Structure 1
């Protein structure tokens, strides 16, 4: 289990209980107590929980945290991990990448953080607070450069709106990895958040190649706001749970429709 998953589970427990014990969480997740102590230390440093002797305590403001990212980070996780590993193969040293908000793009950032020695001279442009934080913490002595767009924060921990769009209008990226709420065969890429849809459209305008990272539950989902038609997409990467009929419907609409094989091992971040 990845560190972000464990930390999300700890926060969920703290929404139900004022405090949690290291021993209880370690047993429930089948990991070492030292691993959980490191997770609690990270939550404490990021202002999400308070480290106490033997465990963690809920912050007074914890109930007001926007729940979108934490509630979605462990959904369809196997598929997201497989998609991330497949997407990682498209990245070459020296590229300027864009990563939009979302939990699937976050898993790509997790995978990318483990390959920074091999993938030198990368620049990552992102509107995801979680992606920016992760890459900053994991960059070590690498030459990675991270640019954050700025903007208004959403429940999915993304920055959107006029400030984000203005920043993106001045930038150029080689490859954009985008997570979306839904992909409709006729309406294309969609989002339930109007400002996020506009910001993602700005990401598309700023890039040479658009790669959509979408697990199999995202197809034939039509949300409020359209981002772009499928004709703007070079590649869709999804997981191997996608229905054959769905693959047959969407494959002719994009240049590359890739089904990522399941992976048998999980990258460790702790």
Structure 2
């Protein structure tokens, strides 16, 4: 687990508890207490938590932070990791990638950060603050380029609205990896946030290939705002938690439908392709 993930987990625990102990967090994350102390030091320096003897304390203003990303980053984590590992197999050196906001696309950013030596000359266009921050701090001596769209921040730590859409208007990407709130056979891709839906539609217009990253809880869900019809999707990557009937239904509608098994060996998930 990388430092940004550990620190997000510490902040999540501080949303639930006024204070946390180093020993408890170290045991929870299966890392050394020294590692957690360094994470708490970083949070303290960035004004996100207060370092105290033996642990960290919630800041009075922590409750005002937008909780969307932190509250969702650990949900269905094994499924998201498997989806990210499968998505990584589509990335080749020299590509220009788009990553939209969301916790599943964030896990792809984590996977990309670990493979930068194998994937040179990548350019990543993203409206995800968390993904951009992670890739920037993990790029080291690599030649990775990270382009952030700008825009209005959402609870899911994405940048949306007219500024983001304007930035995307003049860009072209090889693959867009997109996360969504809802995915329905009839209504297509949807979001509860109208500005996010419009921004994601701009991501689709700017890419040659749309790859949807959606865990099994997103299927047959309709949110308020439409992003695009299902016909815009080239590939769906999900986990093995959906029913066979649902998998068959969506496999008939997209050129490539993949299911990644959370407990499978890394980069070797099961795959179902539509005929």
What TM-score do you get using the length of structure 2 for normalisation? 0.92
Cα pair 1:2 1:266 within 8 Å, conserved: no
Q: 2:36 maps to which residue?
A: 36
Q: 2:122 maps to which residue?
A: 122
In structure 2, the residue corresponding to 1:85 is in which secondary structure? helix
CA shift in 2, pair 1:29/1:96, >3 Å: closer
Aligned length: 267
In structure 2, the residue corresponding to 1:83 is in which secondary structure? helix
- Cα distance in 1 for residues equivalent to 2:210 and 2:42: 33
- CA deviation after TM superposition for structure 1 residue 53, in Å: 3.8
Cα pair 1:5 1:74 within 8 Å, conserved: no
1:44-123 paired onto structure 2 within 5 Å: 44-123=44-123
Cα pair 1:150 1:164 within 8 Å, conserved: yes
Q: 1:193 maps to which residue?
A: 193
CA shift in 2, pair 1:28/1:121, >3 Å: closer
CA shift in 2, pair 1:214/1:200, >3 Å: same
Q: 1:234 maps to which residue?
A: 234
Q: 1:208 maps to which residue?
A: 208
Q: Deviations over 1:69-123 (max 9, x none)?
A: 0110000111000000000000000000000000000000000000001100000
- Cα distance in 2 for residues equivalent to 1:262 and 1:200: 27
- CA deviation after TM superposition for structure 1 residue 6, in Å: 3.4
Q: Deviations over 1:201-237 (max 9, x none)?
A: 0000000000000001100000000000111100000
- Cα distance in 2 for residues equivalent to 1:213 and 1:45: 34
Q: Deviations over 1:1-26 (max 9, x none)?
A: 56455333322332244332212322
1:146-225 paired onto structure 2 within 5 Å: 146-225=146-225
CA shift in 2, pair 1:9/1:243, >3 Å: same
Could you tell me which runs of 5 or more consecutive residues in structure 2 were left unpaired when the two chains were aligned: 268-275
- Cα distance in 2 for residues equivalent to 1:218 and 1:225: 15
Cα pair 1:124 1:146 within 8 Å, conserved: yes
- Cα distance in 2 for residues equivalent to 1:101 and 1:147: 14
- CA deviation after TM superposition for structure 1 residue 46, in Å: 4.0
Could you tell me which runs of 5 or more consecutive residues in structure 1 were left unpaired when the two chains were aligned: none
- Cα distance in 1 for residues equivalent to 2:76 and 2:252: 25
Cα pair 2:149 2:167 within 8 Å, conserved: yes
Cα pair 2:94 2:122 within 8 Å, conserved: yes
Larger mean CA deviation between 121-130 and 34-43 belongs to 34-43
CA RMSD of aligned residues (A): 1.8
Cα pair 2:187 2:222 within 8 Å, conserved: yes
- CA deviation after TM superposition for structure 1 residue 58, in Å: 1.7
CA shift in 2, pair 1:120/1:28, >3 Å: closer
